[in-house]
Amino acid sequence: MSNPRTLRPARLAMPVALVAAALLAGCGDQSKIDPETTATLIQPVARVEIQAVTITPGTRTGEQIVKAICAACHDAGAVGAPKTGDAAAWGPRLALGFEGLTASVIAGKGAMPPRGGGSDLTDTEVSRAVAYLANLAGAGYTEPPVEQ
């Protein structure tokens, strides 16, 4: 009695021949590939250049500061930060007045680090950011002018 799982040599011939043909196809003359083509084929897909950006202290607007630093928490209302434009959430903070709110940001409050995390911000830049962000919630603060 024959085992139905036993493969006959004739059935193995075709798969073995295909595997052998595939292996032999890769053994051709590799010297036909010139170094220039090889160099082109192995070029990186992209390059990243990191350059230091020099920003003169005192020259950023409130909008620039808010978008670069403050929005990370205030746009989402993260860790208790009042959401951008939410007048109800900003109400108790606006009650401190412009100077009080600016002093609070410079010192840091709750989860917010001093200067909102922008350790390189001048006091004037902090006050610009405070005015810009508070005005989005309905305050009528005047943003200090950018120093020239």
pTM as predicted: 0.63
Q: Is the pLDDT of residue 1 over 60?
A: no
Rounded distance, CA 33 to CA 39, Å? 10
Tens digit of each residue's pLDDT (9 = 90 or more) over 63-118: 999 999 999 999 999 989 999 999 999 999 999 999 999 999 999 999 999 999 99
Q: Which tens digits make up the pLDDT trace of 107-135?
A: 999 999 999 999 999 999 999 999 999 99
Name all domains of the chain by residue range, CATH numbers in brackets. Answer: 62-136 (1.10.760.10)
